[in-house]
A and B are shown apart, each in its own frame.
Chain A
């Protein structure tokens, strides 16, 4: 054919990273992490980064990848306005693009005209500037953003915007980051995981103090890494001798670690959030439990002599300050599972059965049984069958199933197979109709994967929304449903599409309770899609009364009425 132009297609080695600024090296790391699905490649890339980056930048990288980002300096409304202004497009078009791209920072990086320069500044420098920026007025903020947006290249601009907008969800878990750091520093992974726990500030701590050698006296509020259980998928009896294990109920609250040191109390959630101030009713415990004690337990709502629902507890999770009414309506206790430190000594290498003896003796010495602490009773079984019977009583006990812990197990770091197992009750299920859909985020951007489901009302005339679910289908199924949604949209409400009621899905959930905060009057716990019932017509879907019939007869009425929803975490 004609009119061919000669197009150069030469190739050369890429420039060595050492010549670039810290931000460029970080952006290049993010690009590498982004472009692979292989864990080993990610670990290698991160380890290589930890070998070449400056100490300051390393500390910030660890902070960012363990959710210790400085507060957002510019709100997202302004970010959207300014980015669309700079890109010379109307705001509505920016919003539409954002719904499709699925990530604010990525949208900003994509719509702004391209620039090719590499930044010479360090990552630390940018973070210092962002901390400074928070206190500036809007005109200064805008000028600062414009300058950086229009000069940074695509990946740097994306990373820069990501530092402003939110957490880095790039398929790098804290565990993976710790493994890479261990590879780069030759320090044991579990030891590093412990060093990186708790309250440290990337603005002030040095890499040496954080990772290499630490000042222990500074660290008395620091929690131990949580030991997490694997789920039993097949037959529990395959775990071995039943007498090697202790079982207990798996309580449905917030897993926590409570530290008693230096006359103070620190309560940590499993997400490494310090939540001491959210549970003032627990502070009294420091007058009854000696210094040098660390307790692993579940925070549970407890009133009228019994455990409340997770739905009630949820009303307290998002709150920084707690009203008197809430303290009265949803008082919280600690149900203790384990003891990790006693008399200032780390007990984690001691066998679980021994630790339980220490815990039980501690508990029996507490004479005032009105204090907000209980103990999660352990049970011994003679056979797996009798254990299974106990598991069958879980809903009655208001637990999610059983925890099975090897008697001689140490308290390990993170999720490790072998010693601790969770044996959850089978979920409840119901057939519901797909009614609304939204595009997903991250790897599901631009695909309709976030669904709302309805059940029939009493006279089968209307579908009442009862749950949202985002997970449970295979990628191939999601693609099919996505294609169907795009062709069967009835109406659009911003990013939400209502679709022709046509598809029935079996929805599984863990728990169920009456709720005045939900339109359907019922709250389900952790709803997800179990399977796509292509064999069923919508008339065959279940009704709201079918769902109500699943509520256990001894279930408590939700304690909290008409409380606004806590801010949802993304």
Chain B
């Protein structure tokens, strides 16, 4: 049997003819990186190759690394294997990686979404034979409301909190979700304030994106400044002493997991907005169809269920174990002082967190 173009190894997804890895989870010589989230761009590789927008993001997160950036659809040839990066629509800079070798084309999505969010380059379907897809929300229960409606709800929520003299705290990943929300917050309602982790990452992205002004929260920020303002904070700030001076406040989270009433209730937040940077069920099915692929490999999320369904509608689908974060729900409420190992890594390795 012929060796597959991409193999799933204990270090990550490996391309034998090119001797490179895609989004590896253990240190390797050469890594092609889809996007800047910590479970996809890890520390310790000798060489990073990624889309040019990711270079400042990854450098900000990982410090002094050897990284080179390429443009979308620009060919990178390694040992006669042609690699190209194509927009994945997940977060700014996020890419799918197309791998072509001798008449065979594979596409690895990393994470992706098809909805146009205003900050990420819109997803582009890429024809291929084998499609390696995430399926974080690969259940028919997940169907997103259009972003404009969710943002309308979020801005309305903020305006109502302001009318009640309260501060609105919105929890979001520092990279991606925070800038997406920021982009569409309505600055005419009030002041947009940020946690250090989010401010730093937003600073990195400002040269590429036009976003409303933000004000960094520091030790000198006055209690009165929080009234009527909205605060963007990473999930880890929930339940911390840092938010105490914002009293009176109301909290919210924007995530695909907020679909579930149970997930909302157990997180002890006041409001859940359903907004995700991943595909919902219909978008997964549509994008798989658009690639024309016959073979589908599901990497993270509800892989067993989703691949079983794909087989039932005629695809040659299977699952592969990876270390990308799939089934975990990002905990928003780790008790103080708790060494919570299950905490998502996505927000972990950010430098310069202002306490």
Q: Which residues of A contact B (CB under 8 A)?
A: 1-5, 7-12, 14, 34-38, 87, 89-90, 92-94, 96-97, 100-103, 106-107, 110-111, 113-114, 171, 440-447, 474-476, 479-480, 482-483, 486
Please report the C-alpha to C-alpha distance between residue A102 and residue B340 in the assembled complex, in whole angstroms: 25
State whether A7 touches B329 (Cβ < 8 A): no
- The contact string, 1 if C-beta is below 8 Å from chain A, for chain B 297-339, is 0000010010011001000000000000001110101110010
Q: By the criterion CB–CB under 8 Å, are B140 and A445 in contact?
A: no
Quote the shortest CB–CB distance from B147 to chain A (angstroms). Answer: 6
Candidate in A2, A10, A107, A476 with the most chain B CB atoms within 10 angstroms: A476
Closest to A154 in B: B145
Interface bin, chain B: 35 or more
List the A residue with the shortest CB-CB distance to B339: A476
**Residue B264, interface by CB 8 Å:** yes
Contact A34 to B140, CB < 8 A, known contacts A1-B92, A11-B189: no
Shortest Cβ distance from B140 into chain A, in angstroms?
5
Question: Chain B residues near A483 (CB, 8 Å)?
Answer: 328, 342
Q: What are the residues of chain A within 8 A of B26 when measuring CB–CB?
A: none
Does A11 lie within 8 Å of B156, measured CB to CB? yes
B116 A3 Cβ-Cβ under 8 A:
yes
Complex Cα distance, B305 from A480, in Å, reads 23
For B186, the chain A residues whose CB sits under 8 A away are 9-11
Chain B positions within 8 Å of A, measured between CB atoms, are 53, 92, 116, 118-122, 139-143, 145, 147-148, 151-152, 155-156, 158-159, 184-186, 189, 208-209, 259-266, 268, 270-272, 302, 305, 308-309, 312, 327-329, 331, 333-335, 338, 340-342
Tell me, rounded to whole Å, the shortest Cβ–Cβ distance linking A227 to chain B: 30
| A residues near B302, Cβ cutoff 8 Å | 100
Bound complex: CA A73 to CA B60 (Å): 59
Q: Supply 16 A–B pairs (Cβ within 8 Å), ascending by A.
A: A5-B118, A9-B155, A10-B155, A11-B156, A11-B158, A12-B156, A35-B271, A101-B262, A103-B262, A106-B260, A110-B141, A111-B140, A442-B262, A444-B266, A445-B263, A446-B329
List 6 extra interface pairs beyond A111-B140, A480-B342, CB under 8 A: A2-B121, A3-B116, A11-B155, A35-B272, A37-B268, A107-B141
Bound together, the chains give a CA A442 to CA B184 distance in angstroms of 32
Beta-carbon contact of B335 and A476 below 8 Å: yes
Q: Complex formed: what's the CA distance from A92 to B327 in Å? A: 20
Q: How far is the CB of B122 from chain A (nearest CB, A)?
A: 5
Residues of A within 8 A of B185 (CB): 9
C-alpha gap A447/B119 in the complex (Å)? 32
Which residues of B have CB within 8 Å of A92?
Answer: 308
| Interface core residue of B159, B209, B259, B263 (most chain A CB under 10 Å) | B263
Measured between alpha carbons, how far is A100 from B327 in the docked complex, in Å?
A: 11
Q: How near does chain B come to A162, taking the closest CB pair, in angstroms?
A: 11
Chain B residue nearest to A489 in the complex (CB): B304
Closest to B163 in A: A13
CB neighbours of A3 from chain B (8 A): 116, 121-122
Which B residues are in CB contact (< 8 Å) with A110? Answer: 140-143, 259
Nearest to A38 among chain B residues (CB) is B270
**What are the residues of chain B within 8 A of A100 when measuring CB–CB?**
139, 141, 302
Docked-complex contact B121 and A476, CB < 8 angstroms: no
A240 to B124, CA, bound (A): 74
- Contact across chains for B184 and A9 when beta carbons are under 8 A apart: yes
In whole angstroms, how far apart are the Cα atoms of A110 and B142 in the complex? 7
A11-B331 in contact (CB<8A): no
Verify A445–B260 contact, CB threshold 8 A: yes
Are A444 and B156 in touch, CB under 8 angstroms?
no
Contacts of A87 in B (CB 8 A): 140
Query: Is there contact, CB below 8 Å, between A445 and B262?
Result: yes
Which chain A residues lie closer than 8 Å to B155 at the CB level? 9-11
Asked if A35 and B264 make an inter-chain contact with CB atoms under 8 angstroms apart, the answer reads yes
C-alpha gap A562/B231 in the complex (Å): 61
Using CB atoms, name the residue of chain B closest to A93. Answer: B309
